[in-house]
Structure 1
Amino acid sequence: MDFSQRLQQVAANPDSLTQIGRGLEREALRITPEGGLSAEQHPVGLGSALTNKWVTTDFAESLLEFITPVSQDVDHLLGQLGDIHQFTYSQLGQENLWPMSMPCFVGNEDDIQLAQYGTSNTGKMKTLYREGLKHRYGSVMQVISGVHFNFSFPEAFWDQLFGEQEEKARQQSVSDAYFGLIRNYYRFGWLIPYLFGASPALCGSFLNKSSSPMSFEKVGAGTYYLPNATALRLSDLGYTNSEQSSLKIGFNSLDQYLDGLKKAIRTPSEKFAQIGIKQDGEYRQLNANVLQIENELYAPIRPKRVALSGEKPSEALGRGGVEYIEVRSLDVNPFSPVGINADQVRFLDLFLTWAVLSPSDPMDDAELECWRDNWNRVVLDGRNPDLQLKIGCNGERLTVQQWGTRVFAELAQVAAEMDKAAGNDAYQKTLSQLQAWIDDPSLTLSAQLLDQVIAHEGIGGVGLSLASNHREALQGRDYQCYNQQVMMQEADDSVERQQEIEQADSLSFDAFLDDYFADIQ
């Protein structure tokens, strides 16, 4: 069957297209009123960063992460994210949230304090993992912020696509379909940084620590940019790891992916061994392997399954197959108080549905490198109207506009079916707006932001202005899904849960780590 036939097959049951599961994770740095990195501890009013289900921290104490539950409704999802932001602002005092992916001014790497999670073995391991990241890649790279989009198709979708199946066969079919989606994401996902990349410029304090060979232009006292860049966060300046580039983790099946991942967490790294695991009795990293743990794998998309207590991500996947996927290539939208808007979510719905229904041949290492090259071109020069991308590895080339128009023609079919199922025209309106962005690169988020950065003669002024506007918008809204009391109760309960975890520990930290890594010794 071709794409159109598969689409008609799943659309025969409207639940296939209206019951999609979505969750959001948004990262944001806390900043001082002057625009510098906050030196304050995690706000007490937000409860425990280890156990609060809505508000935690990522790499640093100052790097907040907001997490929504799974939702089947786009507006409800964004309402939840808005409520979490609104409550957070009520606990921030004079601080604001930096509205961009690339960090604010960072004077010294030592100004970035690693996230702290208490005295439990689990909490200490989370901080030690970050200690390892700091020694391996430097702290500044780790405070780059992004938005992660978690996405799953409902059972009705798989029922329509595959018919009745026994549990094991269904698990295999679903995993295979998600890996087909992942391969198509590598092939065509550069559309996401083209449309929604929002890191064309960065603060010179970041650049000083990256030794980049790129030919930047400068504006103001210390902001650097590339004229046609879309998402420097996804370039070699951002989340990259040369040690990982040799891993060759494949996406042709769950088994191939898990084999590659297991190899990575068992393969010693000469470079990381030089850091040392312990020095003067103090840990410096969890181990000296290419990956300390699976989370260290940098990828624009990941297959996922909710893990049971004590279960590693790969063990969860091996047990039950792929349950959902995590899209990790979204920059923070600087023009949204919550870092993402409804049009972006709807586009991702369309794109991921198209990617799973479209043919997706197996992909070898050479083809994967070819597509990675396309991503890199779009990230650094995506708004250049003359930029051409390779089609596979056969040498044929098309411009971003030609490629985008081809893909959008099929996305339009998905939008029509999704709107028909929902009884409105929201998806077609989103697609129509974004088609204009394909035709005119000056409408993209990166172009809009760069215009403001140049007009304000620097990233700092734009960031402070947007942060102030977002604070006002969030403090002036009404709760939509939760309320202040519910949020405060979760903060209080999270502190109790952390204390219970700490009291339940029976092993020393050394013994805990030996136990955790027993299978890879």
Structure 2
Amino acid sequence: MQAQLQTLTSPGYRQLINTIQRGIEKESLRITPEGRLAQTPHPASLGSALTHPSITTDYSEALLEFITPVDTSIEHSLDTLADVHSFVYAQLEDELLWAASMPCVVNGDDSIPVAEYGNSNVARMKTVYRYGLGHRYGRLMQTIAGIHYNFSMPAEYWQRAWDDAGKPEPLQDYISNRYLGLIRNFHRHSWLLIYLFGASPAVCASFLRGRDQHGLQPFDEQGKTLHMPHATALRMGDLGYNSSAQRGLKVCYNSLDNYISALRDAIMDPHPDYQGIASGRDGNYQQLNDSLLQIENEFYSTIRPKRVTRPGEAPLKALHRAGIEYIEVRCLDINPFTPVGLDAQQIHFLDTFLLYCLLEESPPCDSDEQSRQAANLNAVVNRGREPGLELFANGGSRPLSALADDLLSGMSGVAELLDNCHDNTLYSAALEEQCSRVADPERTPSARVLREMRERDVPFFRLAMGYSERWAQYFRERPLPPEVAQRFAAETASSLAAQQAVEAADELGFEDYLAQFYAQYQKL
């Protein structure tokens, strides 16, 4: 690590480190003024959810997803995300955006409208996939929102690093293997992100209505809120994006071929649990297939290797064709205490953390280590702020606080490097703030959620509703520059036209379209 840091301080690397590329994908539920899930369709004034570059939907018509373009400026990325919020609020009339990861008041699966994308084959595939998720896991899980953070090093950095390493393998293989090293280290250390940024220690009781085996405790006498006293991010545990069926899926990150092979088999091989769900018989598609995974996106993971796909191209084929282009971090809760769900300080730390994972030595992992990593993550999700909590480490166990201190201390050189490259001290300041959260768990967002609920004597729903109303007023009053408003209006119009063009271009029936899509996996 120290040798790599020393190399990166040389003049030739300074500008390359200064141009780390990032993108943000932020989900938010549309809700009524009363705090219930919106039943209205995706607003036409927001354009086509299929083709709009910045505004789409995830599982539900009511689950908006905002996407920022690839950018090298943290401030500009956050400003762009805020602009999307401002534009959306100008179109929403009296609806609001829910300011938390765990959902608002929900009335079971039937109250959750599945997203629709039009009449094209690609649109129908997206909707059928979502119906499949609903049948497999229930629709309630799909109302949980989060933030995805995309991260990559610039091409010029990889060219220079490859040259300096002596060109040990083809350039793209070198890049993919370095990103896989980052991913392995991320899995070793991601419990720290859950501790530092988890903001979902409690849920509205309506989310668990009819479910008794959840292990949560009532927060209030009325039973309106369920929680775990020392939880950090229930969204990342058994209540959230988790699948008992997938627990037997062993995905290896030691090589790209192994990763592709494991997911390809999960997509192609029938799974007994899902064979009773219609997948095309007599034209009835309630899921895309009866395999463990319908498509790659169904594999629930805290981080993914990614490459931008060509039209109609399967993600695994894109990775096989040209290797890993960037990584997607998927374990971040929405922070209800900030307008867009995260802030610059969090991003400064994320960049420090991810660069550390890239530069740190990353030995191959095995199934035993993966089991320990999963146990650590689960412990921090449910008991992260518990005094004296110990995690697996180095063949034994150590207190979370000691492990976190060591990990954050190890990142100090990376933070200093980033400070020097950007002529500021923001990265070291972000690191120092995280150190303070380890020293005092009450400084974490999860602790603040429970503390404010107690101090205000309100259930989770009322706390999140209050922040939703606060940020709604903030964005409705926030001026949107005329040229930005005009750009969004143009994107809305062009996205609607693009959807029509996609629909007009279809030449295959849906069954043949799916057969052609899945044929890609046979060749991997």
Q: If the length of structure 1 is used for normalisation, what is the TM-score?
A: 0.96
1:282 CA displacement? 2.3
**What SS does the corresponding residue of 1:52 show, helix, strand or coil?**
coil
**Correspondence for 1:184:** 185
**What SS does the corresponding residue of 1:237 show, helix, strand or coil?**
coil
CA deviation vs aligned residue, 1:11-44 (integer Å, no higher than 9, x gap): 3221232100000000000000010110111011
Amino acid at match of 1:512: Y
Amino acid at match of 1:486: R
1:279 CA displacement? 6.4
CA deviation vs aligned residue, 1:401-440 (integer Å, no higher than 9, x gap): 1011101112111111111111111111111112101111
**Correspondence for 1:70:** 70
CA contact (8 A) 2:313 2:517 kept: no
Distance 1:407 1:166, change over 3 A: closer
Question: 2-side partners of 1:482 and 1:159: how far apart?
Answer: 37
* Counterparts of residues 5-404 of structure 1 (less than 5 Å): 5-12=3-10, 13-163=13-163, 169-208=170-209, 210-219=211-220, 220-278=222-280, 281-392=283-394, 394=395, 396-404=396-404
Question: 2-side partners of 1:320 and 1:73: how far apart?
Answer: 26
**What SS does the corresponding residue of 1:150 show, helix, strand or coil?**
strand
1:480 CA displacement? 6.8
**RMSD value, Cα:** 1.7
1:336 CA displacement? 1.4
List, as ranges, runs of 4+ consecutive aligned residues in structure 1 with deviation greater than 6 Å: 165-168
Question: 2-side partners of 1:130 and 1:369: how far apart?
Answer: 29
* Counterparts of residues 463-474 of structure 1 (less than 5 Å): 463-474=464-475
CA contact (8 A) 2:201 2:231 kept: yes
Question: 2-side partners of 1:256 and 1:60: how far apart?
Answer: 33
Distance 1:313 1:348, change over 3 A: same
Structure 1: segments with no counterpart, 5+ residues: none
Q: If the length of structure 2 is used for normalisation, what is the TM-score?
A: 0.96
**Correspondence for 1:416:** 416
**What SS does the corresponding residue of 2:411 show, helix, strand or coil?**
helix
**Correspondence for 2:406:** 406
**What SS does the corresponding residue of 2:24 show, helix, strand or coil?**
strand
Question: 2-side partners of 1:171 and 1:178: how far apart?
Answer: 11
**What SS does the corresponding residue of 1:283 show, helix, strand or coil?**
coil
Question: 2-side partners of 1:159 and 1:434: how far apart?
Answer: 33
Amino acid at match of 2:150: N
Question: 2-side partners of 1:351 and 1:481: how far apart?
Answer: 37
CA contact (8 A) 2:82 2:340 kept: yes
1:447 CA displacement? 0.5
Question: 2-side partners of 1:449 and 1:406: how far apart?
Answer: 27
Question: 1-side partners of 2:9 and 2:211: how far apart?
Answer: 48
CA contact (8 A) 2:23 2:77 kept: yes
Identity in percent: 42
1:482 CA displacement? 5.9
Question: 2-side partners of 1:447 and 1:493: how far apart?
Answer: 44
Q: How many residues align?
A: 517
Name whichever of 137-146 and 477-486 sits farther off.
Answer: 477-486
Amino acid at match of 1:8: Q
1:481 CA displacement? 10
1:342 CA displacement? 0.7
Amino acid at match of 2:5: L
Amino acid at match of 2:53: K
CA contact (8 A) 2:278 2:284 kept: no
**Correspondence for 2:2:** 4
